[in-house]
Structure formats: structure tokens, C-alpha cells
Amino acid sequence: MTQQRYRDLAEWPLMGTALVFLAAYAWQVIGRVEGAGAEWLETVMWLTWGIFALDYAANLWLAADRRRWFLFNLHELLIVALPFFRPLRLLRLVTLLSVLHRTIGETLRGRVVTYVAGSAALLVFVGALAVLDVEQSAPDAKILTFGDAVWWAITTITTVGYGDMYPVTPIGRMVAGALMMSGIAVLGVVTASIASWLVQRVEESVEEATETAEEPVRAELGELVQEIAELRREIAELRGTAALKERRSL
């Protein structure tokens, strides 16, 4: 089996696994689940994380040039391995975004509005979960509920930044920095996508106008060609008649 064949087969199962992970993580953070429920959700997240790790191993094994693939995908190894350390567990969300982007990005890439809106909504949701996870139990925290977290994520990703909600923990500020950079990237994608769509529409309109304008010209050319052919036939007949008369006169 080739690596591309494996990626095609694993596309939807990976997306389902990522959504299960996201649901478990959101339930744990928003619901502030404790005790046996928290342990159960943690088990679900680690099982899904094991699937992500197996996916990385399968891609490495099936790569045509394993050494080259390993060197050019060190970031994937880091975001799979580092979250096994408890303080770095928020990095699991980076892999979640990577998996979802890989599985549904190509499907929606042609649908500019859907792709951009979906990416922005996913970033807001994941950013809100991440900051709420580290902020809700901190002293003097400003972000205490999921609603606060979503509002903060929206104002951050759009670069508005009202300042009424802000993280107070170091990890929360790191999440904020990542979301700010992501916001700039999303706005860039929005601008580029709209520009690309407009250029494509203009090109299509020009092509349609050109084809429409060429149709009468093509029709006239066809008529001219037909008339020329008839004239040539008449001239040939006249020449033949003249030659026959000349022979008779001799």
C-alpha cells in the first residue's frame, strides 16, 4: 500500500477520531467534570491520541523515502510526542487542528466561503477551550465561563481586542499569542480567497463575453467560406464551358 492510498483510506476515520477527541475535551473543560467521569473522558482522549500516534507511524512506514519524510515532518513528531507530558497537553489541540485540516481541507478548498468560515469557527472554538482550560481555576482570572472564552477568542482572532477579557496565566497568554497569529493568517486567507474568487469570476466573464462575441464572427466566416466555394465552382464551370466552345470552333 502506498502512503497516498493509506491517507485516502484513513481520511474519514481520522476525522471521526478527531471529533470524538474534541467532544471529550470540550465536555471535560466546559463541564468541569471530576472524579470517575473525568477519568473516563481522559481515557477516551488518550485512546484517540494513540490513534493519532499510530497514524504518524503508518505515514512514516509507508513513505517512499522515510528519512526525507521524517526530516520534513519533525513538527508532526513533536506535536504528537510532546503532549504526553502533562504540562504540554494543550499541544494536543494543535494535532487536532492538523488532522481536521488534512481530512476536510481538500474537500472544502474549492468552496471558499465554507472553508474559511469553518476554519475560523474551529479556531475560535478550540482557542476558547484552550484558554478556558488554563484560566478558569487561576486566581484573579477574567475568563471564567465558556461564553467569556468564546467572546475573548472572537475579539482576539479578529484583532479587535477590546481588553475586557484577557488571560492572566503564562500558558493562557501563550494561547492568546498563538490565536493572534492564527487570526492574522485567517484574515490573510480570507483576503486571498476573495481576491482569487473575484479574479476567477472576471476571467470566466471575459471568456463568456469573448465566446459570445466570436459566435457572430464565426457565423459570418462560415457564410463567406460557403460563398467562396460556390464562386469557385461557378468559375470552374464557366472555364469548362469556355474551353468546350473553343474546341468546337476549331
User: Same structural domain for residues 2 and 96?
Assistant: yes
Inside any domain, residue 224 = no
Is pTM beyond 0.85? Reply is no
User: Same structural domain for residues 92 and 119?
Assistant: no
Inside any domain, residue 246 = no
Inside any domain, residue 153 = yes
Inside any domain, residue 232 = no
Residue 6: is its pLDDT beyond 60?
yes
User: Same structural domain for residues 120 and 80?
Assistant: no
User: Same structural domain for residues 149 and 104?
Assistant: no
Residue 177 CB coordination number (10 Å): 12
Dihedral over Cα of 234, 236, 242, 247: its sign: negative
Task: Characterize 67-96 residue by residue with b for buried, 16 or more Cβ atoms within 10 angstroms of its Cβ, and e for exposed.
Answer: eebeeeeeebeebbebbeeeeebbbbbbbb
Instruction: Give the residue among 95, 155, 99, 149 at the shortest CA–CA distance from 127.
Output: 149
The total number of structural domains in the chain stands at: 2
The CATH number covering residue 166 comes to 1.10.287.70
Domain boundary among 62, 88, 108: 108
Residue 189: is its pLDDT beyond 80?
no
Domain boundary among 91, 108, 125: 108
Q: Average pLDDT, stretch 6-34? A: 80
* pLDDT value of position 93: 60
CA distance 58 to 148: 40
* pLDDT value of position 149: 92
pLDDT band for 235, please (50, 70, 90 cuts). confident
Helix axes 36-62, 92-108, angle to 10 degrees: 60
Residue range(s) defining the domain that contains residue 14: 1-108
* pLDDT value of position 88: 45
Inside any domain, residue 219 = no
- pLDDT tens-digit series, residues 118-133: 777 888 888 888 888 8
User: Same structural domain for residues 184 and 85?
Assistant: no
Inside any domain, residue 21 = yes
User: Same structural domain for residues 1 and 104?
Assistant: yes
Q: Average pLDDT, stretch 68-79? A: 79
Grid cell, residue 117, equals 468560515
User: Same structural domain for residues 139 and 50?
Assistant: no
CA distance 159 to 141: 21
Percent of the chain surpassing pLDDT 70:
75
Residue 175: is its pLDDT beyond 80?
yes
Residue 151: is its pLDDT beyond 90?
yes
Q: Average pLDDT, stretch 135-157? A: 89
CA dihedral 122, 127, 133, 139 (to 10 degrees): -150
CA distance 151 to 8: 37
User: Same structural domain for residues 84 and 121?
Assistant: no
Inside any domain, residue 234 = no
Q: Average pLDDT, stretch 31-51? A: 82
* pLDDT value of position 87: 42
Residue 104: is its pLDDT beyond 70?
no
User: Same structural domain for residues 80 and 139?
Assistant: no
Helix axes 92-108, 112-135, angle to 10 degrees: 170
User: Same structural domain for residues 143 and 90?
Assistant: no
* pLDDT value of position 194: 72
Residue 89: is its pLDDT beyond 60?
no
User: Same structural domain for residues 86 and 120?
Assistant: no
User: Same structural domain for residues 120 and 201?
Assistant: yes
Q: In whole angstroms, how large is the CA radius of gyration of the chain? A: 33
Q: Average pLDDT, stretch 44-68? A: 85
Percent of the chain surpassing pLDDT 90:
3
Residue 35: is its pLDDT beyond 50?
yes
Inside any domain, residue 237 = no
Residue 107: is its pLDDT beyond 60?
no
* pLDDT value of position 202: 76
Domain boundary among 182, 197, 213: 213
pLDDT band for 86, please (50, 70, 90 cuts). very low
> Which DSSP string corresponds to the chain?
--HHHHHHHHHHHHHHHHHHHHHHHHHHHHHT--THHHHHHHHHHHHHHHHHHHHHHHHHHH-SSHHHHHHHTHHHHHHHHGGGSGGGGGGHHHHHHHHHHHHHHHHHTTSHHHHHHHHHHHHHHHHHHHHHHHHTTSTT-S--SHHHHHHHHHHHHTT---SSS---SHHHHHHHHHHHHHHHHHHHHHHHHHHHHHHHHHHHHHHHHHHHHHHHHHHHHHHHHHHHHHHHHHHHHHHHHHHHHHHHH-
- pLDDT tens-digit series, residues 202-224: 777 777 766 666 667 667 777 77
Count of residues for the chain? 250
Q: Average pLDDT, stretch 149-154? A: 92
